Chains A and B, each alone.
Chain A
Amino acid sequence: MLTFMASDSEEEVCDERTSLMSAESPTPHSCQEGRRGPEDGEGATQWGNQDSEEDCEEDPDPYACSGTPGRPPGLEEELTLKYGAKHVIMLFVPVTLCMVVVVATIKSVRFYTEKNGQLIYTPFTEDTPSVGQRLLNSVLNTLIMISVIVVMTIFLVVLYKYRCYKFIHGWLIMSSLMLLFLFTYIYLGEVLKTYNVAMDYPTLFLTVWNFGAVGMVCIHWKGPLALQQAYLIMISALMALVFIKYLPEWSAWVILGAISVYDLVAVLCPKGPLRMLVETAQERNEPIFPALIYSSAMVWTVGMAKLDPSSQGALQLPYAPEMEDSYDSFGEPSHPEVLEPTLPGYPGEELEEEEERGVKLGLGDFIFYSVLVGKAAATGSGDWNTTLACFVAILIGLCLTLLLLAVFKKALPALPISITFGLIFYFSTDNLVRPFMDTLASHQLYI
């Protein structure tokens, strides 16, 4: 889910911390969290390990807080374009980084391309004698996976609606613990094995402990923005690697397609779970699980006040927006500084309230983009052309989605366009372009 925070007027209370929408434009936030799959030990792989399937399906729905009333429309459009362009750049870098980490790992560490069992969510094997059976099994796997995701999303929405915040916090913390400690330990172990580097247990313990503890602090409490972003990218990459390892081939592609469709439905349909989650959060003026969303910019506000959750109600938010609330633990960096001057040509605006707003992209988007590119790198001939083509396709899709976001100014799913392009490019490059380019390169012919 992609959220775009227009950095403008003071009525604009959508910033990356809160999911508050201004009274004028109650656009729904589609929250990624809605698609949190089973986590924290609920899933056990057939391989036997307690593989906590953290389906951080951050819904890749870009959602934009619009609402700059009282601005001349031309200026509005320019500013939108300007900030839209900035957001494109702000998101290209982390998405690229995540994909680079995943592809680098896939290409060097054998562990993540070895077939070693399947998750419990994809019980049907793809080792079947006939193609039809294999296709059927992959479709069934997909149905099971998607139903699990839908059920979990609805469960989360229900929890949120009935204000079971402690449960949700506990869930999130457990899943981050699992990612930051267990998966990191496994990853580090495999990397060390690949490069034949010896590490004793005390050093390992120290390293993993530091990495994990700082990660928990940065993600769930406060920390430098860059560090928080880096940790979010790393946990997305780790999760993507888990998916790449444990999803069988055809199932992975069908799941990618199905998830994009689900994303589209869940975010845009009026009764979609994510949309409902966002609207609920909006009504309550609460942020939506910031721990599972990548924010590209920081909210710098002056004069933050504690917002008592019980004193909601007012859609008229005061000029000094209350940003802190009981979800402080979700680690929004809250540095009370002014970041940037006002936009030119808008003299009425008070400087100290200017916030550098950014765009937010759900971690599930990162994960599924990386799964697509990683699968392209892992499967078949290990061809780089295919990997690069998928990478470019995803970036183009992201660019288009951001463009749509700037135009429509509401929550949009970030998966469908990118994944569609990615799938098209993967299959066409792998089957049509690759043999051609291989022959050209071996004879040193250039076109």
Chain B
Amino acid sequence: MTAAVFFGCTFIAFGPALALYIFTIASDPLRVIFLIAGKASEGLKSINPDDTVPSMRLLAYVSGLGFGIMSGVFSFVNTLSDSLGPGTVGIHGDSPQFFLNSAFMTLVVVLLHVFWGVVFFDGCEKKKWYIILIVFLTHLLVSAQTFLSPHYGINLLSAYIIMVLMGIWAFFVAGGSCRSLKLCLLCQDKDFLLFNQRSR
């Protein structure tokens, strides 16, 4: 187990979460703190009167990301630290892809937490209890699937499928639409990050 495995697995597992953090939260930490302190509207007006009031969706996203990162870190960091040490993976007949599988599984768990957060908050706000039930059941499903541990293929594949579905759902719940997605991808949306960093 080498440094390459260590860094590779670290970036696989935490790269997207770190990118999300850097691009959406780190540049505007005050907004996040205000959200959490619960004084969103007045507080932000004092900073920038033109800024939009952060919504419950932003809080949902931030809390989902936070939960995801903590969950991923707690699951994976000891494994990562072991990967720096000496050893041979799978010497007793286990799969040699132990680290890669753990890394990809951690990634999917982190992203799932983000999407679950968004969807869950929306369900709570609109008081649609079936949404909460679905979030709960999919979480249970993904976790139960990990019992299939040596059979990485089916486990990872279905986890990623669930993640993509949840991602699409969270996207529409957060207010996205096919039109806004197109504008975003073509960098034509004035409000979007890539068009103008400030006006979000």
Chain A positions within 8 Å of B, measured between CB atoms, are: 74-75, 77-79, 81-82, 85-86, 88-89, 344, 383-385, 388, 392, 403, 433, 437-438, 440-441, 443-447
- In angstroms, Cα B29 to Cα A447, docked, is 29
B91 contacts partner chain A, Cβ-Cβ < 8 Å = no
**B37 and A446 form a contact (CB under 8 A):** no
**A445 and B73 form a contact (CB under 8 A):** no
**B75 and A86 form a contact (CB under 8 A):** no
What 10 A-B pairs have minimum CB-CB distances, sorted nearest first?
Answer: A78-B46, A85-B33, A444-B149, A384-B77, A446-B146, A445-B146, A81-B43, A85-B30, A441-B79, A447-B143
- In angstroms, Cα B101 to Cα A438, docked, is 17
- A81 touches which of B34, B75, B102 (Cβ 8 Å): B34
B39 contacts partner chain A, Cβ-Cβ < 8 Å = yes
Cβ proximity bits B16-56 to A, threshold 8 Å, 1 near / 0 not: 00000000000001100110010100110111000000000
- In angstroms, Cα B33 to Cα A89, docked, is 9
- A440 touches which of B46, B47, B75, B98 (Cβ 8 Å): B75
**A437 and B81 form a contact (CB under 8 A):** no
- In angstroms, Cα B43 to Cα A160, docked, is 41
**A82 and B77 form a contact (CB under 8 A):** no
With known contacts A89-B29, A441-B78, A444-B101, A82–B147 Cβ distance under 8 A: no
Q: For residue B42, which residues in chain A have a CB less than 8 angstroms away from its CB?
A: 74, 77-78
Identity of the chain A residue whose Cβ is nearest the Cβ of B43 in the assembled complex = A81
**A384 and B78 form a contact (CB under 8 A):** yes
B74 contacts partner chain A, Cβ-Cβ < 8 Å = yes
18 A-B contact pairs sorted by A residue (CB < 8 Å): A77-B42, A78-B43, A78-B45, A81-B46, A82-B30, A82-B43, A82-B46, A82-B47, A86-B30, A89-B29, A89-B33, A437-B74, A437-B78, A441-B102, A445-B147, A446-B105, A446-B142, A447-B143
**B37 and A403 form a contact (CB under 8 A):** yes
- In angstroms, Cα B143 to Cα A437, docked, is 14
B61 contacts partner chain A, Cβ-Cβ < 8 Å = no
Question: How near does chain A come to B172, taking the closest CB pair, in angstroms?
Answer: 26
Cβ proximity bits B114-149 to A, threshold 8 Å, 1 near / 0 not: 000000000000000000000000000011001101
Question: How near does chain A come to B164, taking the closest CB pair, in angstroms?
Answer: 18
- B74 touches which of A89, A344, A385 (Cβ 8 Å): A385
Identity of the chain B residue whose Cβ is nearest the Cβ of A383 in the assembled complex = B78
**A445 and B34 form a contact (CB under 8 A):** no
B109 contacts partner chain A, Cβ-Cβ < 8 Å = yes
With known contacts A74-B42, A82-B46, A444-B98, A438–B78 Cβ distance under 8 A: yes
Identity of the chain A residue whose Cβ is nearest the Cβ of B147 in the assembled complex = A445
B6 contacts partner chain A, Cβ-Cβ < 8 Å = no
Q: For residue B81, which residues in chain A have a CB less than 8 angstroms away from its CB?
A: 384
Identity of the chain A residue whose Cβ is nearest the Cβ of B70 in the assembled complex = A392
B160 contacts partner chain A, Cβ-Cβ < 8 Å = no
B14 contacts partner chain A, Cβ-Cβ < 8 Å = no
- B78 touches which of A74, A89, A385, A446 (Cβ 8 Å): A385
Please report whether the interface of chain B is mostly helix, strand, loop or mixed according to DSSP.
Answer: helix
**B30 and A443 form a contact (CB under 8 A):** no
- In angstroms, Cα B73 to Cα A445, docked, is 14
- In angstroms, Cα B105 to Cα A385, docked, is 18
Q: For residue B79, which residues in chain A have a CB less than 8 angstroms away from its CB?
A: 441
- In angstroms, Cα B82 to Cα A383, docked, is 11
Assuming A78-B42, A78-B46, what are 15 further A-B pairs, CB within 8 angstroms? A74-B42, A77-B42, A81-B34, A82-B46, A82-B47, A383-B78, A388-B77, A433-B74, A441-B102, A443-B149, A444-B101, A444-B149, A446-B106, A446-B109, A447-B143
With known contacts A78-B43, A444-B102, A85–B76 Cβ distance under 8 A: no
- In angstroms, Cα B89 to Cα A444, docked, is 14
Identity of the chain B residue whose Cβ is nearest the Cβ of A385 in the assembled complex = B74
Q: For residue B33, which residues in chain A have a CB less than 8 angstroms away from its CB?
A: 85, 88-89
**B46 and A344 form a contact (CB under 8 A):** yes
Identity of the chain A residue whose Cβ is nearest the Cβ of B30 in the assembled complex = A85
**A446 and B75 form a contact (CB under 8 A):** yes
- B143 touches which of A86, A88, A446 (Cβ 8 Å): A446
- B105 touches which of A344, A388, A433, A444 (Cβ 8 Å): A444
Question: How near does chain A come to B127, taking the closest CB pair, in angstroms?
Answer: 27
- In angstroms, Cα B105 to Cα A445, docked, is 9
**B39 and A81 form a contact (CB under 8 A):** yes
Identity of the chain A residue whose Cβ is nearest the Cβ of B150 in the assembled complex = A444
Question: How near does chain B come to A404, taking the closest CB pair, in angstroms?
Answer: 12
- In angstroms, Cα B119 to Cα A82, docked, is 30
Identity of the chain B residue whose Cβ is nearest the Cβ of A82 in the assembled complex = B46
With known contacts A78-B43, A437-B74, A445–B143 Cβ distance under 8 A: yes
Question: How near does chain B come to A411, taking the closest CB pair, in angstroms?
Answer: 22
**A441 and B76 form a contact (CB under 8 A):** yes
Q: For residue A78, which residues in chain B have a CB less than 8 angstroms away from its CB?
A: 42-43, 45-46
Most buried by B among A77, A82, A85, A384: A85
**A79 and B143 form a contact (CB under 8 A):** no
Q: For residue A77, which residues in chain B have a CB less than 8 angstroms away from its CB?
A: 42
Question: How near does chain A come to B59, taking the closest CB pair, in angstroms?
Answer: 15
Identity of the chain B residue whose Cβ is nearest the Cβ of A429 in the assembled complex = B74
**A388 and B78 form a contact (CB under 8 A):** no
Q: For residue A85, which residues in chain B have a CB less than 8 angstroms away from its CB?
A: 29-30, 33-34, 37, 43
Q: For residue A444, which residues in chain B have a CB less than 8 angstroms away from its CB?
A: 98, 101-102, 105, 146, 149
Q: For residue A440, which residues in chain B have a CB less than 8 angstroms away from its CB?
A: 75
Q: For residue A86, which residues in chain B have a CB less than 8 angstroms away from its CB?
A: 30
Question: How near does chain B come to A436, taking the closest CB pair, in angstroms?
Answer: 10
- In angstroms, Cα B105 to Cα A82, docked, is 39
Q: For residue B75, which residues in chain A have a CB less than 8 angstroms away from its CB?
A: 437, 440-441, 446-447
Q: For residue B98, which residues in chain A have a CB less than 8 angstroms away from its CB?
A: 444
